[in-house]
Amino acid sequence: MHSPASIYGFLVIGGMLAITPGPNMVYVMSRSLAQGRAAGLI
């Protein structure tokens, strides 16, 4: 049986990984900022 502390740590780290944008999202955001909204949607 896992301790509550290890379960909590797993949930926190898993949540952080889930909300962190990946490289493709960073690319789309930077393209949108540089070239406008239409470039980010295409």
Q: Read out DSSP for 10-22? A: HHHHHHHHHHS--
CA atoms of 20 and 17, how far apart (whole Å) = 5
Global confidence as pTM: 0.53
CA atoms of 18 and 10, how far apart (whole Å) = 12
Tokens of 35: 């070239």
pLDDT at 42 exceeding the cut of 90? no
How large a percentage of the chain has pLDDT more than 90?
50
CA atoms of 41 and 28, how far apart (whole Å) = 8
CA atoms of 32 and 22, how far apart (whole Å) = 16
